[in-house]
Amino acid sequence: MTTALRAPLLWLLLPFGAGIAAADAGLAPAGAALAGIGAASAFAAALGARRDTWLGRCAWAVGLAVASACFGAGWLRWRAPEPLAWTAPPREIGVVLRVEQVFPPAPQRKTVNGIARVLSGDGAAAALAGQRVYFSAIRKVSVPPAASGEYRFMGVVEALPANEDGARGFAAYLATMGVRTRITRGHLERETRPPTRFRRFCDAAQDRLGAILRRGLEKHPDVVSLYLAMLLGEKAVLSAEQQNAFMRSGVFHIFSISGLHVGVIAMAIQSALQLLRVPRRAAVVAGLTVLWLYVEVTGGSVPARRSFLMIAFLLGSRVFRLPANPLAALAAAAGATLLLDPRQLFSTGFQMSYSVVVALLVMGLPLAERWQAAWRPWRDLPEVSWKPWQRWTRNRGREILGGLAITWAATLASTPSSIGYFGLFSPGALVANLVIIPLSSLAIVSGFLAILCGLAHADALVNLFNHAAALLIRVMDALVQHGTDWPGVYFNAEFRAAWVAPAALVFVLATMFVGASLRWQKAAGGYWLPVAAVALVVIFGVKFG
Helix (H/G/I), strand (E/B), else coil: 502: helix
Q: Is the pLDDT of residue 456 over 80?
A: yes
Model confidence at 167, pLDDT cuts 50, 70, 90, reads very low
Q: Is the pLDDT of residue 471 over 70?
A: yes
* Top-level class of domain 91-195: mainly beta
Over the stretch 208-236, which tens digit does the pLDDT of each residue have? 998 999 999 988 888 888 888 788 876 65
Residue 5's pLDDT is what? 67
Residue 256's pLDDT is what? 66
Over the stretch 399-409, which tens digit does the pLDDT of each residue have? 999 989 999 99
Q: Is the pLDDT of residue 357 over 60?
A: yes
Over the stretch 13-23, which tens digit does the pLDDT of each residue have? 999 999 999 98
| 88 in Cβ contact with 111 (< 8 Å) | no
Mean pLDDT of the region 256-261 = 68
Euclidean distance between CA atoms 450 and 467, whole angstroms: 10
Euclidean distance between CA atoms 3 and 366, whole angstroms: 13
pTM given for the model:
0.83
Instruction: Using CB atoms within 10 Å of the CB of residue 169, give its burial: 0 to 12 exposed, 13 to 18 middle, 19+ buried.
Output: middle
Cα distances from 522 to residues 164, 405, 516, 529, 534, in angstroms, run 47, 17, 12, 10, 18
Judged by average pLDDT, the poorest of 106-110, 156-160, 181-185 is: 106-110
φ, ψ of residue 232 to 5 degrees: the values are -120, 0
Over the stretch 298-321, which tens digit does the pLDDT of each residue have? 877 777 888 888 888 888 776 665
Amino acid at 319: V
| 348 in Cβ contact with 317 (< 8 Å) | no
Q: Which is more confidently placed, 375 or 166?
A: 375
Residue 466's pLDDT is what? 94
Cα distances from 187 to residues 139, 140, 544, in angstroms, run 8, 9, 42
Residue 194's pLDDT is what? 93
Helix axes 280-297, 197-214, angle to 10 degrees: 90
Mean pLDDT across the chain:
85
H-helix segments, 10-135: 10-24, 31-49, 54-79
